[in-house]
Amino acid sequence: MPHSASSRVFLLSPSHRYYTAKCALTKATVYSTPVGDLRVDQEGIYSAYQLLLQNSLWSGHTVKLVPVLIGSLDSESEATYGQLLGKYLDDTKNLFVVSTDFCHWGSKYKYTYYDENHGPIHKSIEALDRIGMEIIEMLKNCLVKVKVKFIRYDQSSQCNAMEDSSVSYACAVGKVDPSGEDEKKE
């Protein structure tokens, strides 16, 4: 997406250190990122519902950041937040960045599946993660067609023993195609 085409970036990420049963917004005014400091859209995040329901906040090509911390949502809350954010997916002026973890492996996470056919434990974890990534790339049951491609994969550590632990991370890019044209080309 051309930089000048985006006027608002929605950053959705999981809540690891703070428990909440809903989505939370920041009080920060600036987010430091690898590409420089980004101004947080204070006007837009005054409250979650103002952010999600106002359409009058667009202003030229200034990029505004809207960080949303995703809590432990029940099905009803998922549907509510999905419906509220969903209308922003169609707008090409919005860029959605979704940050999430993949596998949490180790006894402290109560998950230690290991298929020895893949070699060391970290290779078994990666094989399972890659199956998950392939499934996500194939999903086409959304109202808005989003073509997803995973571009990077990593693990916090390479597990070699059952006592080890690791968290997997995957980075994907998604392109919204409300017309379905990309699907017709395949």
Residues 10 and 28 in one domain: yes
Residues 87 and 124 in one domain: no
Q: Which domain holds residue 153?
A: 102-186
What's residue 162's pLDDT?
A: 96
User: Where on the phi/psi map is residue 56: left (φ > 0), alpha (ψ -120 to 50), or beta?
Assistant: alpha
Residues 82 and 138 in one domain: no
Interatomic CA distance for residues 150 and 170, integer angstroms: 7
The letter for the amino acid at 112 is T
Residues 113 and 170 in one domain: yes
Number of domains in the chain: 2
Contact 175, 146 (CB under 8 A): yes
pTM for the model stands at 0.61
Residues 32 and 85 in one domain: yes
Q: What is the mean pLDDT of residues 43-61?
A: 42
Interatomic CA distance for residues 5 and 94, integer angstroms: 8
End-of-domain residue from the set 83, 99, 115 = 99
Residues 118 and 186 in one domain: yes
How confident is the model over 96-126, as pLDDT tens digits?
A: 777 777 889 999 999 999 999 999 999 999 9
Q: Which are the contacts of 174, defined by CB distance < 8 A and separation ≥ 6? A: 96, 98, 146, 147, 148, 149
How confident is the model over 143-175, as pLDDT tens digits?
A: 556 778 888 889 999 999 999 999 998 888 777
Residues 5 and 67 in one domain: yes
What's residue 101's pLDDT?
A: 79
Q: Is the pLDDT reported for residue 7 higher than 70?
A: no
Kindly report the length of the chain: 186
